[in-house]
Amino acid sequence: MRRIVLGDNAEVLPTLPERSVRLIYIDPPFNTGRAQKRTRMLVTASDGPGERGGFGGRRYDVEALESSSYRDAVEDFEAFLMPRIKSALRCLTDDGSLFVHLDYREVHYVKVALDRLLGRASFMNEIVWAYDYGGRPKNRWPAKHDSLLWYARDPDRYVFDYDAMDRIPYMAPGLVSKEKAERGKTPTDVWWHTIVPTNSREKTGYPTQKPLGVLERLIKVHTEPGDVVLDFFAGSGTTGEAAARHGRNFVLIDDNPDAVRIMSERLAPFGPELVGFPVIREADAQTALRAPAAAQTTLDLVRAGSRADVEPRASVRKTR
């Protein structure tokens, strides 16, 4: 099964087959947009003219509350993310693993929520992906890492192919034998890896694209060839490419038309099934990438199901 689906993951996940994926990797967006849009107001009965009218001709004053928007964002994020993770767990095999990729702002809140959902015993590792890129503030330690929380559905039975690990150079090769230095050592829970280099072939132009190297290491160690990997915040499709390169299958979900277009181009050599959107020819995709506004219009039509070559949205349900 190699599939790219356009749609809200909350709607698509319940349509996927039970216990069909060995690995779930997600890299959710922190700002869902809802937190930014939400303005909390205090509405009180007014003695004067009031800003807002109400029942029985009463008038009310409206005051914007001084609230901690950061805290609101975190609460909204959990409310957005956790039901989706819960829904996705239905698709995970009994020996499957879940990886949630987060940054320093949200990792602690999500760790506590995942411990509650899966049990502390299922927590296996916090992998720190360390990189070195971008500005360096002078008033605090520059934040240059993300965290990947690993939970095993069953902490006594999961896929961990030690021999499939890539090797990395010793920090002090002079302290080990020549053979050992040549072979390199296995990684720890701190992974040094560059971000996607600006001019690399890997770069798709999708703003939050993660490096293939990080996903390839995960997929090689935590799945076997032929397994299915699920990413329901798939973005540019890094998970799909890493999976397919190593003989694994993938289900990628994203509700952003730009994301599915980029994924369908990127993964075309692996022949994915496209669900909820049309096949976009390379030439059209090139034009669309140069003119995102026009592409948006086309995809709005796709969403409305008004083009003859559009697979109806109901087709998402075929996967049941």
Ligand X SMILES: C[S@@+](CC[C@H](N)C(=O)[O-])C[C@H]1O[C@@H](n2cnc3c(N)ncnc32)[C@H](O)[C@@H]1O
Q: Which residues bind ligand X (CB under 6 A)?
A: 8-10, 27, 29, 206, 208-210, 233, 235-236, 238, 253-256, 259
- Tell me whether residue 72 or residue 95 sits nearer to ligand X (CB atom): 72
Residue 93 burial (CB count, 10 A): 19
Classify residue 165 as exposed, middle or buried by CB count within 10 Å of its CB (0-12, 13-18, 19+): middle
- Tell me whether residue 25 or residue 158 sits nearer to ligand X (CB atom): 25
> Comparing C-alpha atoms, which of 3, 29, 78, 81 is closest to residue 209?
29
Tell me how far, at minimum, the Cβ of 10 lies from ligand X, in Å.
6
- Tell me whether residue 191 or residue 233 sits nearer to ligand X (CB atom): 233
Dist CA 83 CA 319 (whole Å)? 20
Tell me how far, at minimum, the Cβ of 178 lies from ligand X, in Å.
38
Q: Which residue has the tokens 């230095």?
A: 181
- Tell me whether residue 9 or residue 183 sits nearer to ligand X (CB atom): 9
For 36-66, give one letter per residue: b (16+ CB within 10 A) or e.
eeeeeeeeeeeeeebeeeeeeeeeeeeeeee
Tell me how far, at minimum, the Cβ of 64 lies from ligand X, in Å.
27
Tell me how far, at minimum, the Cβ of 263 lies from ligand X, in Å.
8
Instruction: With H, G, I as helix, E, B as strand and everything else as coil, classify residue 128.
Output: strand
- Tell me whether residue 257 or residue 278 sits nearer to ligand X (CB atom): 257
Helix axes 69-89, 107-118, angle to 10 degrees: 40
Tell me how far, at minimum, the Cβ of 177 lies from ligand X, in Å.
38
- Tell me whether residue 29 or residue 54 sits nearer to ligand X (CB atom): 29
For the beta sheet containing 52-53, the strands, ordered from the edge strand earlier in sequence to the opposite edge, are 41-45, 59-64, 52-53
Q: Which residue is nearest to ligand X (CB)?
A: 235
Tell me how far, at minimum, the Cβ of 219 lies from ligand X, in Å.
13
- Tell me whether residue 228 or residue 262 sits nearer to ligand X (CB atom): 262
Q: Which residues are CB-neighbours of 45 under 8 A, at least 6 positions away?
A: 58, 59, 60, 61
Tell me how far, at minimum, the Cβ of 76 lies from ligand X, in Å.
12
Dist CA 257 CA 62 (whole Å)? 38
Dist CA 155 CA 121 (whole Å)? 7
- Tell me whether residue 50 or residue 213 sits nearer to ligand X (CB atom): 213
Tell me how far, at minimum, the Cβ of 45 lies from ligand X, in Å.
39
Dist CA 65 CA 77 (whole Å)? 20
Q: Which residues are CB-neighbours of 207 under 8 A, at least 6 positions away?
A: none
Tell me how far, at minimum, the Cβ of 117 lies from ligand X, in Å.
18
- Tell me whether residue 106 or residue 254 sits nearer to ligand X (CB atom): 254
